[in-house]
Structure formats: structure tokens, C-alpha cells
Amino acid sequence: MNIWLSLSKDKLAVMSLLIIVATLAAGIFAPQFAPHDPTEVNMQLKYAASSWTYLLGNDHLGRCILSRLIYGIRPSVLWVLVALAISVCIGAVIGFIAGYFRGKIDAFMMRICDVMLSFPGYVMTLAVVGILGAGLEHILIAFVVMKWAWFARVIRTAVMQYSDMDYVKFAKASGSSHLTVIVRHIVPVTFADIAVISSGSICSMILQISGLSFLGLGIQAPNAEWGMMLNEARGVMFSRPELMLAPGLAIIIVVSAFNFLSDALQAAINPQLKTAQRKLQASEVRVSSYESIRG
């Protein structure tokens, strides 16, 4: 409850949250939101400027850009989030076990992670796509395979740092079980770290999906995807730069919203940061009143 209260005071956080919720809703209910069929070709409307029926105009095949943008949320945001959630979950389980119990189990798991991390990311993706064939779902599988080891390493480091704290020692000493200690003491403090690294990789994953779609390995041609829309607009970058605007801005806005939200969440969860902010605000008030007195 507290978290919501302090989040609601942060205007940027509220706006980010609204943007994210709106984006997700638009993606899930794309058929209801989109004014036209995103794959409907209409050569008479090639490069048409925005009009009342086609709010954002039309692309090189006369397809509705707004509809393509809305349908593009599905692969670009929704599926990326699913892949991210799966890899963070796998990484978290392994990271928590390795960081909390340490010893042999930690050494064993980290060697597996090292092996996974020693493959260059794109080579791994290409290998998976080579075996399974082109397609969004195969790229998502490749993402999960590639990313979990990295998350496991980062989360393990965070867990190790916190599991040495005296309050963890106290909880163990006073007879709490391992699961209770992890859930009550380690998950909340590492959550901020996990949120920050996840939101950081949302951005890179969105961009990677786009890159792979450009290579023809991801989303297949008539379907919409933000990165692919950018690539299609790239051909006419100098004659019609406005075509890059819609997908480009969409990526920037969504990625920034995730970043701002994770920052705000971190501040809202951590009581130490909260009072630091209050103090800062108080001192700012004092300074400004002092300055106004001085004239």
C-alpha cells in the first residue's frame, strides 16, 4: 500500500505507469483498437499524409501506420516481456540458490553460466534459428537461452551481498527456515536491483528483436513489428523522414517509460531513499525561502 502511495506522488512514475498500461492494453486488444487491418495493402494511398481515416498516414504499400503500430506492440513489447519474465525467473531461481547457499552448488551453477555466457549472443540466436527455423517464437526461445545465465550471475551477486548482512544472520539464528529468510529478507532488498537490470534489458531486447526481424529471422514480412517498420522506412529515410517518426518515437517512449518506472519503483520501495528525498525537498524549500528573503 505504501508503495502505491509514494508512487502516486511521483508524477513521472504515474505517467510512465499509464503509458505502459495503455500500451499493454492496446497490444492485448489490438483488433479492437486498430482502425484498419494492419496487413491490408492499398497502393493508391502509398505514402499518403495523415488524414481522418488514417490518423498517422500510410506506408510504402499504403498500409495504415497506426494499425501497424498497434499490432506491432504484440511482438515488440508483449512477447519481449514474456521472454524477459521467463529468463528473469530462471535466473532468479538459480541466482538465489547459488548466492544464498554458496559452496559447491554455487561453483557448479556458475560454471554452467560461464559456459552459456561464453557463446556470443547473436551466434547463439542464429544457431537456434538455424535449428528450429525462422520465426518470432524461436527468437524468443533463443533470448531466454541467452539471457538467463546473465540474470543468474547478476542476481547471485546481489544476493551474496545481502546474505552477509547481520539481519539475515539474526533471522537464521532465531530459527527461521531458509525459505522464510529468502522471501522476507533477501527478495525485497534485491528486488530493486532485479527491476533495474530487467528494465535495462527490455530496451536492448526490443532493439534486438527489431534487428533480427530486419535480417528476416524474426517476424515474417506482412506482420507488423516496430523494428521492421523502422527498417522499411529506412529506404526512404531522406525523401520521407516522417515515416521513421512513428515507430521510432514508439520505441523511445515505451523504453523510457520502463526506465522511469523502474527508477521510481526503486525509490518507492526503499525507505532510505524516500527520506533522502524528503530531506532534499525540505532543504530545497529552505534554500529557496532563504533566497527569497535575501531578495
Q: In the complex, which residues of this chain contact another protein (CB under 8 A)?
A: 107, 165-167, 169-177, 180, 184-185, 188-189, 269-272, 275
C-alpha cell at 258: 520502463
CA–CA distance, 56 with 34 (Å, rounded to integer): 12
Q: How far is the CB of 283 from another protein (least distance, A)?
A: 17
| Dist. CA 82–CA 88, nearest whole Å | 10
Minimum CB distance to another protein smaller for 111 or for 286 = 111
* Other CB atoms within 10 Å distance of the CB of residue 103: 8
Using the minimum distance from each CB to another protein, give the nearer residue, 55 or 165: 165
143 vs 226: CA distance, rounded Å: 18
Question: At closest approach, how far in Å is the CB of 196 from another protein?
Answer: 16
Nearer to another protein, 60 or 172 (CB): 172
Select 44 or 272, whichever has its Cβ closest to another protein.
272
Q: Rank residues 177 and 289 by Cβ distance to another protein and give the closer one.
A: 177
Q: Please, are residues 69 and 250 in contact by the beta-carbon 8 Å criterion?
A: yes
Q: What are phi and psi of 58, to 5 degrees?
A: -130, 155
CA distance 107 to 120: 22
Query: In the complex, what is the shortest distance from the CB of residue 80 to another protein, in angstroms, rounded to a whole number?
Result: 30
Cα distances (Å, whole numbers) of residue 285 to 7, 272, 290, 291, 292: 21, 20, 8, 10, 10
Between 166 and 291, whose beta carbon lies closer to another protein? 166
**Direct distance between the N- and C-terminal alpha carbons of the chain, in angstroms, rounded to an integer:** 42
Nearest distance in Å: CB 153, another protein:
16
SS3 state at 61 = coil
* Residue placing its CB nearer to another protein in the complex, 37 or 114: 114
CA quadruple 48, 53, 56, 61: dihedral positive or negative?
negative
d(CA 232, CA 244): 9
Least Å from the CB of residue 189 to another protein: 7
Q: How far is the CB of 270 from another protein (least distance, A)?
A: 7
Residue 128's alpha-carbon distances to 124, 204, 206, in angstroms, are: 6, 19, 18
Cβ nearer to another protein, comparing 157 with 270:
270
- Report, in Å, the least distance between residue 111 CB and another protein: 9
Instruction: Find, among 8, 4, 67, the residue nearest to 35 by Cα.
Output: 67
CA angle 198, 192, 188 (to 5 degrees): 125
Least Cβ distance, residue 169 to another protein (angstroms): 6
